[in-house]
C-alpha cells in the first residue's frame, strides 16, 4: 500500500474535495469508541478536524456498519450531511432537523426486512457451524435492532465463506469484512484466532462502495470531488468511486495480502489522528 505522506502534496493539488466519506469506529473514533482517545493519550485533533471541514464547506458523510439508530446521534453531533448505516444498506440524508431514508434495493424482502430473511434462512447458523471457534455473533452489538445485516466476528476466508453460502443456496447473500477489532487476550474466549475481524452478512450487492456510488449519483458528485477515510477492506473497496481512499494506520493489518486499487493510501497515524492528518492536508 502506498504511503499517504508521499502523495498528499500531489493529491491536494489535483483533487478539489467537496465530500469526505468517513468510517466511524477505528477511524474518526479512537479506542473505546471515543472521539478524544488515541494511543498518545487524550487528543482534540479529530474534533478540530471536523470543525475544519465545516468551516471549509466540505460535506461529511459517515459510512459505518452501525445501525441507523446507533449513527443518528453521532451524525447530529458532527454535523454530517448524511450517513450510511449497516455497511451500505441504508442511506440517510439530514436537513433542517429532518431525515430522509433511502433503503438500497435488497433491504426489504417480501413482507419483512433483509435481516429477518437472513435469520429465517439459517445462513448465519450455517457459517457459525462451519467455523466453530473461528466465528461468533459480535455481541452485544449483533443483537441491536437491524434491518439488513447480521453482525459476526472472528477470522475466516471470505471467498471460502461465500462458497459455503452459495452451495447451500444462499447466493443472494454476501459476507463483508469491516475491519480488525482490537482485543486483548481473553476478551473473546469463544474464538481460537489471533486476529479478530468484524463481518457483516448482507444481501449481495450491498456494500460501502454501492452506497457511496448511490449517494454520488443522487447528488451529481464527480469521483474526484470525493475522498474516503477508513480502516477496513470494505473502505478500500470504495476506491473506484472516489478520488482517493486513505486508510488509518491501525487498518493496515486487515489489508495485508489484498489486491488494492492504486488510489488507496496508508496514513502514518492511527484512528482519529490519521483522520485529522487527511483533513489538514485538504483544508489548509
Mind listing the pLDDT tens digit for each residue in 127-137? 999 999 999 99
pLDDT at 105: 80
Question: Can you tell me the mean pLDDT for 146-171?
Answer: 97
- Other beta carbons within 10 Å of 135: 25
pLDDT at 39: 87
Q: For residue 219, with 0-12 CB atoms within 10 Å meaning exposed, 13-18 middle and 19 or more buried, which class applies?
A: middle
Question: How confident is the model over 210-269, as pLDDT tens digits?
Answer: 999 999 999 999 999 999 999 999 999 999 999 999 999 999 999 999 999 999 999 999
Quickly state the pLDDT bin for 40 (edges 50, 70, 90).
Answer: confident
- Does 98 share its domain with 211? yes
- Does 40 share its domain with 81? yes
Question: How confident is the model over 47-63, as pLDDT tens digits?
Answer: 999 999 999 999 999 99
Residue that terminates a domain, selected from 169, 186, 203: 203
Residue that terminates a domain, selected from 163, 188, 203: 203
Question: Can you tell me the mean pLDDT for 103-108?
Answer: 81
Report the distance separating Cα 279 and Cα 235, nearest Å.
17
Question: How confident is the model over 251-261, as pLDDT tens digits?
Answer: 999 999 999 99
- 275: cell is 483522520
- Does 45 share its domain with 167? no
Q: Which domain holds residue 61?
A: 2-104+207-283
Decide if pLDDT at 209 tops 90: yes
Counting the structural domains of the chain, the total is 2
Decide if pLDDT at 144 tops 80: yes
Q: What is the CATH number of the domain that holds 163?
A: 3.30.980
Report the distance separating Cα 267 and Cα 1, nearest Å.
10
Report the distance separating Cα 175 and Cα 197, nearest Å.
12
Amino acid at each position: 500500500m502506498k504511503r499517504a505522506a508521499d502523495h498528499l502534496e500531489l493529491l491536494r493539488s489535483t483533487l478539489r474535495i467537496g465530500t469526505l466519506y468517513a468510517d466511524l469506529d477505528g477511524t474518526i473514533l479512537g479506542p473505546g469508541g471515543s472521539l478524544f482517545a488515541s494511543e498518545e493519550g487524550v487528543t482534540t485533533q479529530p474534533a478540530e478536524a471536523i470543525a475544519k471541514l465545516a468551516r471549509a464547506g466540505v460535506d461529511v458523510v459517515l459510512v459505518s456498519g452501525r445501525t441507523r439508530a446507533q449513527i443518528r446521534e453521532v451524525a447530529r453531533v458532527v454535523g454530517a450531511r448524511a450517513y450510511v448505516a449497516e455497511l451500505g444498506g441504508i442511506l440517510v440524508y439530514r436537513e433542517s432537523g429532518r431525515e430522509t431514508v433511502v433503503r438500497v434495493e435488497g433491504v426489504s424482502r417480501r413482507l419483512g426486512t433483509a435481516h429477518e430473511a437472513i435469520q429465517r434462512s439459517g445462513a448465519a447458523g450455517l457459517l457459525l457451524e462451519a467455523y466453530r471457534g473461528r466465528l461468533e455473533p459480535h455481541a452485544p452489538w449483533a443483537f441491536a435492532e437491524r434491518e439488513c445485516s447480521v453482525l459476526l466476528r472472528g477470522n475466516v476466508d471470505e471467498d471460502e465463506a461465500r462458497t459455503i453460502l452459495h452451495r447451500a443456496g444462499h447466493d443472494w447473500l454476501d459476507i463483508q469484512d469491516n475491519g480488525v477489532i482490537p482485543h486483548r487476550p481473553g476478551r473473546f474466549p469463544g474464538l481460537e484466532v489471533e486476529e479478530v475481524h468484524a463481518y457483516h452478512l448482507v444481501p449481495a450487492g450491498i456494500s460501502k462502495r454501492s452506497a457511496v456510488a448511490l449517494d454520488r449519483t443522487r447528488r451529481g458528485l464527480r469521483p474526484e470531488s470525493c475522498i474516503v477515510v477508513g480502516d477496513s477492506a470494505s473502505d478500500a473497496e470504495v476506491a473506484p468511486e472516489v478520488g482517493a481512499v486513505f486508510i488509518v494506520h491501525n487498518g493496515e493489518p486487515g489489508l495485508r495480502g489484498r489486491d488494492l486499487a492504486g488510489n488507496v493510501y496508508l496514513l502514518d497515524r492511527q484512528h482519529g489522528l490519521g483522520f485529522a492528518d487527511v483533513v489538514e492536508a485538504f483544508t489548509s
